[in-house]
Every structure is written in C-alpha cells, then in structure tokens.
Chain A
C-alpha cells in the first residue's frame, strides 16, 4: 500500500503548494515540463504519489534523475502519446501552456492520459498588463512575463476569460479555479480577469450527452 510518509516543510512558491494540495495521496501524476523534478520528488516523498516527468532541458533532466524521478527527455506531446488512456490520475502543466505550439492538442492529450488536468498560466488580462499596453504602447513585461517581444518563448498567451471560453468550447469541465496575484497571494474569483496574475485551473472531461 502507498502511504504518505511525512510532512514536508512549507514551500517558497505558493502556486506549487496549491497545485500540490489539489493532488490526492497516492495519485499517479505526470508533470509536463517538470524542470528539475522538485514538485514530483515532493509528491513522491510526502504524498506517496507515483510521479513521472517530461522535460526538454538536458540539464534539468539530469537533476530529475539525481532526485530519483523518472523523466522523459523530449517534447511533451511526443512523450505523452505512448501512455494508455487514463494511465494517470492527474497531469500537471505548470506555467508552460503559453509556450506550447498547439495548446488544444496538449490539453486533449493531457485529458486522454490523465483523468484530471491541472493547468496554470499567467493571466494576460491582469490590470497591470492592460495598463502597460494602454499607457506605454509597448509589449507588457512583468515578473510573470519577463521577456521582450523578440525573445519571448510565450507564443500562446491568454486571459482568464479566454481560457474559460476555451474550456466551454472544448467541453471541459472546470473542477476548480484558483487565482493568485502577480506576487502569488491568493485572491477570490471576484473580477479575476482583472486582478489575477496567475490562474490555476483543474479540469476534467465534461460528462458525455
């Protein structure tokens, strides 16, 4: 039997902590763009999860291996395609959606191999972003959007409203919505598309019919 082993110290990043809180003990978890594998290693150690990662960066993959996290070095869509449908309880895409070439394909694939998907992304509808464009007439930059227009990997930015509409169109049920300010403080859903710097969505396929 898989059991949670012990409590771990509090995290520096609240979004990680909130994502972790959404994941039940002992769950099978796939983390897309898992970086150095810290989130997965914690889920394995403190929640008794079975964790797998996919990561493009060779150096980050090496760190995963040293943490004992099983990881696939390569593209996330390619890395997901071989898993059987429903293999995972949860598939995580943390702050990477905006960098994927084909978000609908990624999300469909996430909800094929996983029963639930947790997706977080910077909200382009945040008031700071809107004001920067309006007042300065330049591409917005912020801690969540640190790049210039010419070197940004973010090719598919969206707002909270965009994403909610997308879920409706794709017939995805939003199980949970969590909003944080740009400084990772939790806020309510009130005027979230203005106030949220970061949004975390938990999705599942809407029941058929």
Chain B
C-alpha cells in the first residue's frame, strides 16, 4: 500500500478544508488479558491484546450509520484527516473519506481498524511479550485473517455498534471484509470488497515468499531477534521493492518511467542506480523500512498466504449460504496481482446464493494500487451504493424488518 507522493492534496482536503475530516487521533482498546487470552486459529493463545483504531464522523442515535474500513498489508488505522495541523499528508484513504467524498462523514460514522500482527499500534511481533518483557520476535504466535477479524469484532462491541451499515477494504483489507461477512453474517448490512479475492493465488504466495526470503536472508534479521540492534533494513527494503512491482502495471511503469535515466545522460556501465524505475523502487524500499517492522511483514504476508475463505467451509457457494449482506464488488482492469477473474469468482458464488451483488471492473491503467488513487467513477460508485444501502436499511427499520 502506498499513497503515491505525486498525488496532490486538493485544496478542500487540506487541514481545516471543507472536505477534510480535520484532526483525528488514534485510539486503542485493550482486551484478552490473562487468564482470558484469545485462542488463535493456530491453537496458541495471545493476550493481552491492544487494537488501534480511528474514527471520523458521528454515530447516529439509531447506531445505523457505521462503516468499517479495513486496510491492506502495510496500512494503519490512520485512514483520513490529520493527526496534527503540520502533517505533510493526511490518512491513507483521505481521497475517499470526508465531508462530500465517496464515504461522506457527514452521513456515516467511519471506523478504521488496525490489525494484530502489525506494527502500527496493535499487538504484534515488536510488542513486549508479557512472559519475558522483551519484544516477541518469532515467539509471537501466527495470526490469521480470521484472528484479525475476531479482534475487530471486540472493537465493534466496545463501540456499541449493533450492525455495520457497510464495510470496505482493498487487497488484504478485502480478505478481512469477506471473512467478516461469512463469520458474522447478520452484522454486516453491506460490503464493498475491492481488488481482492476469496483466496490468495499461487502467484501472490510466490511474491510474498520472495519478500520473506529477502528479509530472512539479511544477516541483521537474526531469527527475528533484532530489536536491540540493527534491523534487517536491506532485506525489508527488497521485500518492499518486490511488493511494489506487483502493485503497479506494465503500462503505468512505461508511462511513468520508461527507460529514462536518472541524473545522467548515458549509461555508467556499472551497478549504481541509473534507471528512473530503479531509483523509484529504491526510494519506496528505503522509505518503507523507516515505517515498518520486518517481522510484521513476515507475519502479515503469511496471514495472507493462509487466507482461503472456503477452507473448512465446503464449496465457495456453500460459504455464502444464509448470507444477506448486499455486495458491491470492485476490481481493477489492470490489476495482475488480484486480477478481475478472481473477483468474478467471488461474484459467481454470491449470485448463486441470490445475494444482491453489483460487480464493476474499474477501467484504470494503474494496476493493483489504483484504489489509492483519485478515481471519480470509483468515488461515485461507492457513494451511490452506500446511499442506496442506507435508504433501504432505514426503510426496512421503519417497517420493522431487516432487509
């Protein structure tokens, strides 16, 4: 995940602007303290657990306007607005969240939840292990997408939200959306999975594994026990570079970089960074190591690899039996990491169950990461869908039934 540095912030979305949610702060819930630790899918226990989240907008008196945002691999709870007036950039999906935007915070109460296993304020491998007082490192138990969702359900209950009006997320955020719907079908009125799939493909696992191998091959990694010394920066940077290639598209790389050289007129006939695309990837890798923990990268990518919505639940069609959630499924035409056919697989299973499903392939040349970029059609689609869902939910409530 990345907000491209080249994406300009519109005037209205600047701090104090009419389309900005303004100042926000990260909040935390703590739970699963001993002896009530949470049993994870892998069989091990984790606790106490801290989960970071942010909110914007106001929960309605009927508590019927809450929208949950779920982030991808390297995201965090800071989804929109600013932590401080002097912040250079707003939250990672500020383009889509705020007054007058696709997810309009004058209508909806937006919650963005972080994930366990990460390094952005929630319990993860860099947190202190209560048994030793030192960072967990590899003693941190393996967490899965469904473990993440179960902690988010605790957050939902703490916030006093009886049912989500909607939830959305791209990529791994979409995994969480799908797991939510299947695990708690009565508590999600609508869902908007974006650029995602019902399981990670072999190709996706392959790229994740190369990233992990790069980290683990870094001598500074030391079996994950590096918190007292130098972090495996080189390995994590390479992992990020590989990941970043998969988030772009051939067409976009050609348009953005071509074969242009950076800061020189001819070849140097050496191995220094000379092509613009090299320099871009190097920048992405270097800036990532300043904000992300290598062990978290290992754990989260592994949770993606393990994700298979149908595992242990029968066929994909059976998975959605009894689900009443209304769906808007979005894919991106140039996404080769989560290609459109994978979204269609989801759509087919939903339709086979008679679930109201809208599917749209967004035409965009920007590859997997296109959902972080400005896109008027995507904004209008999400806004229109949410508006109709809210109308239906409120009509149903007025008539005393659940849609």
Interface size class of A (residues with CB under 8 A): 20 to 34
Taking chain A's interface residues, is the majority helix, strand, or loop, or is none over half, making it mixed?
A: mixed
A82, B359: Cβ atoms closer than 8 Å: no
* B357 located at the interface, meaning its Cβ lies under 8 Å from any Cβ of chain A in the complex: yes
Q: A58-B377, A62-B380, A70-B357 are in contact. Are A82 and B363 (CB under 8 A)?
A: no
Which chain B residue lies CB-closest to A82?
Answer: B348
Q: A62-B380, A65-B384 are in contact. Are A74 and B359 (CB under 8 A)?
A: yes
A-contact 0/1 string along B360-394, CB 8 Å cutoff: 11110000000000000100110011011001100
B-contact 0/1 string along A58-85, CB 8 Å cutoff: 1001101111111111100010011110
B384, A72: Cβ atoms closer than 8 Å: no
Number of A-B contacts (CB under 8 A): 65
CB distance from B333 to the nearest CB of A (A): 9
B351, A74: Cβ atoms closer than 8 Å: no
Q: A58-B363, A58-B377, A74-B344 are in contact. Are A64 and B358 (CB under 8 A)?
A: yes
B360, A62: Cβ atoms closer than 8 Å: yes
* B119 located at the interface, meaning its Cβ lies under 8 Å from any Cβ of chain A in the complex: no
A-contact 0/1 string along B333-362, CB 8 Å cutoff: 000000000001001110110101111111
CB distance from B361 to the nearest CB of A (A): 5
- Measured in the bound complex, the distance between the Cα atoms of B354 and A64 in whole Å is 18
- Measured in the bound complex, the distance between the Cα atoms of B385 and A67 in whole Å is 8
Query: Which residues of chain B are near A69, meaning CB under 8 Å?
Result: 358
B377, A62: Cβ atoms closer than 8 Å: yes
* A141 located at the interface, meaning its Cβ lies under 8 Å from any Cβ of chain B in the complex: no
A72, B352: Cβ atoms closer than 8 Å: no
B392, A68: Cβ atoms closer than 8 Å: yes
Query: Which residues of chain B are near A82, meaning CB under 8 Å?
Result: 347-349, 351-352
Residues 30 to 78 of chain A near chain B (Cβ within 8 Å)? 52, 58, 61-62, 64-74, 78
User: Among the listed A64, A74, A81, A83, which residue makes an inter-chain contact with B361, where contact means beta carbons less than 8 Å apart?
Assistant: A74
User: Among the listed B357, B384, B388, B392, which residue makes an inter-chain contact with A62, where contact means beta carbons less than 8 Å apart?
Assistant: B384
Query: Which residues of chain A are near B388, meaning CB under 8 Å?
Result: 65-68
A73, B361: Cβ atoms closer than 8 Å: yes
* B328 located at the interface, meaning its Cβ lies under 8 Å from any Cβ of chain A in the complex: yes
B381, A65: Cβ atoms closer than 8 Å: yes
- Measured in the bound complex, the distance between the Cα atoms of B376 and A62 in whole Å is 11
B380, A72: Cβ atoms closer than 8 Å: no
CB distance from A92 to the nearest CB of B (A): 17
- Measured in the bound complex, the distance between the Cα atoms of B381 and A64 in whole Å is 9
Q: A62-B377, A62-B384 are in contact. Are A83 and B344 (CB under 8 A)?
A: no
B-contact 0/1 string along A81-95, CB 8 Å cutoff: 111100100000000
CB distance from B347 to the nearest CB of A (A): 7
B328, A58: Cβ atoms closer than 8 Å: no
Which chain A residue lies CB-closest to B352?
Answer: A82
A73, B360: Cβ atoms closer than 8 Å: yes
Query: Which residues of chain A are near B359, meaning CB under 8 Å?
Result: 71-74
Which chain B residue lies CB-closest to A80?
Answer: B351
- Measured in the bound complex, the distance between the Cα atoms of B349 and A67 in whole Å is 24
B354, A87: Cβ atoms closer than 8 Å: yes
Which chain B residue lies CB-closest to A59?
Answer: B377
User: Among the listed A61, A70, A78, A83, which residue makes an inter-chain contact with B356, where contact means beta carbons less than 8 Å apart?
Assistant: A70
A-contact 0/1 string along B295-316, CB 8 Å cutoff: 0000000000000000000000
- Measured in the bound complex, the distance between the Cα atoms of B356 and A52 in whole Å is 8
- Measured in the bound complex, the distance between the Cα atoms of B377 and A84 in whole Å is 31
7 contacts between A and B (CB under 8 A): A58-B360, A62-B381, A62-B384, A70-B326, A72-B351, A72-B357, A82-B348
Interface residues of A (CB under 8 A from B): 52, 58, 61-62, 64-74, 78, 81-84, 87
Q: Which 5 A-B pairs have the closest CB atoms?
A: A68-B388, A82-B348, A66-B384, A70-B356, A73-B360
